[in-house]
Amino acid sequence: MVPGPVSNDRLGASNGRSSPKPRILVPEKVSPDGLALLASDFDVDSRPGGLSPQELIDLIPSYHGLIVRSETKVTAAVLAAGTSLRVVARAGVGVDNIDVEAATAQGIIVVNSPAGNIVAAAEHTVALLLATARNIGRADRTFKDGKWERGKLVGVEVGRKTLGIIGLGKVGMKVARMAVGLGMKVLAVDPYASADVARQASVELVPGLADLLPVVDFLTIHTPLLASTLDLLGEAEFQRMKKTARVLNVARGGVYNEAALLKALDEGWIAGAGLDVFTKEPPEEGSVAAQLARHEKVVSTPHLGASTVEAQENVSLDVCSQVLLILRGGLPTAAVNAPLILPEEYRKLQPFVKLIEKMGGLYTQHYVGARGGMVGGRKFELVYQGELAGINNTRPLFAALVKGLVSSISDSGGRDVNIVNAALIAREKGIVINEVHTRENSGSTYASLVTLRSYDTDPAAAGKEERGAEQIIEGYVSGKTVYISKLDRFTASFTPEGTLLILHNYDEPGKIGGVGMVLGRRGVNIEWMQVASLEKGDQGDKGLELSKVDSAVAGMEAHGSNTKGRGNEALMILGVGGVVGKEVLQDLTGEEGILDVSLIRL
């Protein structure tokens, strides 16, 4: 992502008002520790009482930086008026109150502080864990009402109990270490986590929810709220758990299906919950969220996960340090929209940055999300062949791969990855990337070819780089369009854009029609399709390009009539429109001869 043209005003003019120093507006209360970093170099205008939308628009033209928390709405109108603005900083994690797209179009960098509240969120999780175990909330309420109900408030110890963690990121890992300190056994589900890092923290990674839910005494979720994690736990999942289990949420409202959680508590499927976040905050009167917040088996808090003095100081120091760096001409470490490419490299590298980012996203969603594989702990090779191999500065390409690999598993969609922090993010995720330059293009007809290889290192190889379970994606650029030319063992030529369904199937008559009927019943429109064959197979056509295939399913059956029957394999790659939910994937997986199905959003 590259910000748009930067005006002369953004390079330092103050739009008609002369000032010896660049000016920074702070319309909310921000910890003075961070603001002190800026005082010597900049004119800091702190207005903790807040500004109305019109006041902000009227004032912003003469400022170069804007630092906000959650109350100030940084709209497209504000950004358009801020003709001198170079940076908008959010003293916190979320940037929902900032129009990031408008900022990018204006060439304004948006930064936040994704790490400032890690300790606070982890400690609040443990606080809720202990509070639910010992009925602290109910005990406090009833005691203040003049009741002495010791017999009704018998709790459980957490030592020697099992804590399950879904999402072993920074907060999840911090919670894990605290839980180990309490004497708990910790299990975790996270296909993107490094197995080595988990072992060092005394955490056992398990394959999936089916292995985790039946055995845990406490369950906490630390994942971003994405399409793949919305309603991650519903009625079926709660019924798999112990009746004595308790669940915690200091991450995002909506990861637990709130109606299902309410039913689980009412029906006695689980014993209790500790909740700090809800789908709508504050919960509307009479809503399911409000019923949960008031439930006698729930310890509820009003989104206090980051509300500590230290966390507020940390985020202030973090974002103010980044503002200082940006206004001095540097690149930030936690930008939501910082460029992967510097302006002078844009024309040459932009198509390949796009290609490699798409390859990374395809890898994570196809090999990890659909097949239960891993990103963390695997080794990757990014091979540049042909003319591309002659480019010396490949930092933007490296960053593009990291961005693609993490985009489907992060709140920001990978927008916070830039050429400054990509290597750090890769290390944190346990991702090892080697770049290989080769002038030879292996007989390719393309001027430049990019190959992404991922493989396991054999733990029995005693340090040798012996490979196993190799996974491959190849791609090329034609004009301004990017294409995937190989996926695993299959040759193809498709553009990785939009919503894709990739079906691995036996290449035999009836497959295309069966898939078309399933999608038609579910209201999913097939916009284009391609059949990709095994690289060295002899199965007729290499690919089949169709537009609006669902309107001509009968005609497509002719392609299957020339196949050799079961034993031959193919990939059916579909570009689709409409809602593709779990039911659609289940229906497709149940079709005869379909080996597996991936849903890809790029």
Selected catalytic residue, list 281, 284, 535, 545: 281
What is the rounded CA–CA span in Å between residue 375 and residue 527?
Answer: 30
E strand or H helix that includes residue 300 = strand 298-300
* Phi and psi based region of residue 208 (left: phi greater than 0; alpha: psi -120 to 50; beta: remaining): beta
Catalytic (active site) residue 252: yes
- Residue in 47, 134, 240, 303 annotated catalytic: 303
Q: How far apart are CA 29 and CA 47, in angstroms?
A: 7
- Tokens 């005609």 identify what position? 555
| Known catalytic residue at 428 | no
Relative to beta strand 490-494, strand 525-534 is: antiparallel
Residues paired with 219 in a beta bridge: 164, 247
- For residue 193, give the nearest of 5, 373, 402 by alpha carbon: 373
Residue type, 35: L
Helix (H, G, I), strand (E, B) or coil at 478: strand
Q: Residue 269 gets which letter from DSSP?
A: S
281: annotated active-site residue: yes
3-class DSSP assignment, residue 571: strand
In the set 124, 252, 366, 504, the catalytic residue is 252
Q: Nearest to residue 274, comparing CAs of 220, 215, 212, 216?
A: 220
CA distance 68 to 355: 35
Where are the strands (E) in 159-206, listed by range? 162-166, 185-189, 203-205
| Contact present, 260 and 233 (Cβ < 8 Å) | yes
Phi, psi dihedrals of residue 110, rounded to the nearest 5°? -110, 125
Nearest to 369 by CA among 187, 229, 233, 199: 229
The residues, ordered by sequence, that sit 6+ positions from 505 with a Cβ below 8 Å of its Cβ are 511, 569, 570, 571, 572, 593, 594, 595
User: What DSSP letter does each residue of 522-561 carry, written as one string?
Assistant: TT-EEEEEEEEEETT---S-S---EESGGGGHHHHHHHHT
Q: Which of 201, 206, 171, 202 shows the shortest CA–CA distance to 189?
A: 206
Spatial separation of the C-alpha atoms in residues 145 and 343, rounded to whole Å: 65
Q: What single-letter amino acid sits at 112?
A: N
Residue 60 identity: I
Identify the sign of the CA torsion 227, 228, 229, 235: positive
Task: List the structure tokens of 459.
Answer: 């733990």
What does the alpha-carbon distance between residue 80 and residue 9 come to, in Å, rounded to a whole number?
12
Residues 6+ apart with CB under 8 A from 45: 23, 24, 25, 26, 63
Catalytic residues, which ones? 252, 281, 303
